[in-house]
Amino acid sequence: MSILVTGSTGTVGRQVVNGLVARHASVHALTRNPDKASFPEGVRAVAGEMTDVASMRAALKGVDTLFLLNAVAADEVTQALITLTLAREAGIQRIVYFSVQNSDAFTDVPHFTGKYAVERAIEQLNLPATVLRPSYFMQNDAMMKDALQHGVYPMPLGDLGVPMVDTRDIAEIAVAALLRRKQSAAPLPREVIELVGPDTITGNAAAAIWSDVLAKPVAYGGNDLDAFERNMASRAPSWSAYDIRLMLARFQSDGMRPAPGSLDIMTGLLGHAPRSYREFVRETAASWDAAR
């Protein structure tokens, strides 16, 4: 029997696939276009979309473990609940669900509340699952290369801070959770693991780290959410821009803090300390230099 990885072509999902292959697991990777997908040798690319019930029933055949990661979308809850229910019907008793830190607290942020609704379904359906709650990805900031090289850190994180987490740490823990469940003789109890980095990063702190690493002034762009939403809506659906605006508003008003013991739990699962934001920035800047 195999592990089905959804979200397999995304930043985290691809790393999960690679990590499972490195551990010699049998992996099926869900993708809309198997012919166009590129996976390591031995991975079976499986055609499917989460709102296409027939394709998901087919994708879940021969599977005993599920990694459920679905991207932020207008119908995200429908996608996740259909997939979970089909997995339950298929008798799958080993699940890792990809949620978000503060899913239960940021109730005005659509994709946070959507993920928490799925967590509640996992609980009420009594599904044996690991729920991963990652913070903001460090790797999101690599997409701001042009602004950073022009001396601006543009993400309006605010002044309270977010414990950014490296996607490599996320993937390592996801792989460990999947294999722990798959290899267990009986389904394991439900658990929630918060995934955070060792530092709580504000907008000004991020700008200072980039300035230090790039050896030139980098200023924080400020907390203007109107400007952020307008800019994002010019290249993404308006609902998505507003959703992310609401998330950033909560970052600014409340910040995000790791739960007590989260870093110790992560260190134990990883076998090393979670990667720091400064480490990420150094590696990213070095990769930009190497690509010139």
Helix/strand/coil (H, E, C) string of 74-89? CCHHHHHHHHHHHHHH
Confidence grade of residue 275 (pLDDT, cut at 50, 70, 90): very high
Report the distance separating Cα 291 and Cα 286, nearest Å.
9
Task: Give the position of tokens 């290899």.
Answer: 183
Report the distance separating Cα 237 and Cα 64, nearest Å.
36
Report the distance separating Cα 48 and Cα 46, nearest Å.
6
Report the distance separating Cα 209 and Cα 32, nearest Å.
39
Position 56, amino acid: M
Mean pLDDT of 32-36: 85
Mean pLDDT of 16-40: 92
Name the percent of the chain lying above pLDDT 70: 100
Find, among 72, 214, 74, the residue nearest to 140 by Cα. 72
The whole-number pLDDT of residue 253 equals 97
Report the distance separating Cα 149 and Cα 281, nearest Å.
13
The whole-number pLDDT of residue 290 equals 83
Find, among 168, 155, 166, 167, the residue nearest to 251 by Cα. 155
Do 30 and 46 meet the contact criterion of CB atoms below 8 Å apart?
Answer: yes
With a CB cutoff of 8 Å and minimum separation 6, the contacts of 189 are 128
- For 204, the enclosing helix (H) or strand (E) is helix 203-214
pLDDT at residue 105 tops 80:
yes
The whole-number pLDDT of residue 291 equals 75
Find, among 141, 204, 195, the residue nearest to 163 by Cα. 195
Mean pLDDT of 140-144: 95
Cα-trace Rg, the chain = 19
pTM of the model: 0.94
Walk me through the domains of the chain, giving residue ranges and CATH numbers: 2-136+166-196+257-275 (3.40.50.720)
Query: Mind listing the pLDDT tens digit for each residue in 167-208?
Result: 999 999 999 999 999 999 999 999 999 999 999 999 999 999
Mean pLDDT of 58-84: 94
Report the distance separating Cα 99 and Cα 193, nearest Å.
10
Kindly report the backbone phi and psi dihedral angles of residue 215, in degrees, each rounded to the nearest multiple of 5, phi listed first.
Answer: 60, 40
Mean pLDDT of 82-88: 95
With a CB cutoff of 8 Å and minimum separation 6, the contacts of 243 are 72, 109, 110, 111
The whole-number pLDDT of residue 251 equals 98
Write down the mean pLDDT value for the chain.
95
Confidence grade of residue 255 (pLDDT, cut at 50, 70, 90): very high
Q: Strand (E) positions, the chain?
A: 2-5, 27-31, 44-47, 63-68, 95-98, 129-134, 152-153, 191-195, 219-220
Name the percent of the chain lying above pLDDT 90: 90
pLDDT at residue 153 tops 90:
yes
Cross-strand pairs, 44: 28
Task: Give the position of tokens 């499972």.
Answer: 20
Do 31 and 60 meet the contact criterion of CB atoms below 8 Å apart?
Answer: no
Q: Determine the length of the chain.
A: 292
